[in-house]
Amino acid sequence: RGPIQTRSGHRAAGGQQTEVERGADGLYLRATAPPPADLFAPSIDKLFRSAAEACGDHIVAVVLTGMGDDGSRALPDVRSRGGKTIAESSETAIISGMPNAAVKTGAVMEVLPLHDIAPAIRRLCVSGV
């Protein structure tokens, strides 16, 4: 499938929500102002959910170092649509809150040190396993 494009005037910026949408001619990123109730902006959960909806089993969601649990709530959605999931291991995560929260969901397929994540993404994209 082709690269993700941005709609005219949209760009991923801090303080905005970024979501993936499927258009008639491919995938697009949509950046919007977050509603006041959103805890994180940008939110990895919103990005992963929208990407899972737009891409189905053609998504690899990766949770890397970070504080909190952003990203973990969307991983079951990614898995239920056939997507693949990876979390960075505590051995290389500078801050392991986000990857540990992701692992606790039970929706993470692989927990890997940072240096093994890029080869795993390639393997999942090429062979699917």
pLDDT in tens, 71-113: 999 999 999 999 999 999 999 999 999 999 999 999 999 999 9
Using the structure block, give the residue that is written with the tokens 């090429």. 126
The reported pLDDT for the residue numbered 53 is: 96
Closest-CA residue to 126 (of 84, 93, 64): 84
pLDDT at 35: 87
**Contact predicate 38/59, CB 8 Å:** no
Q: Taking the model in full, what pTM does it have?
A: 0.87
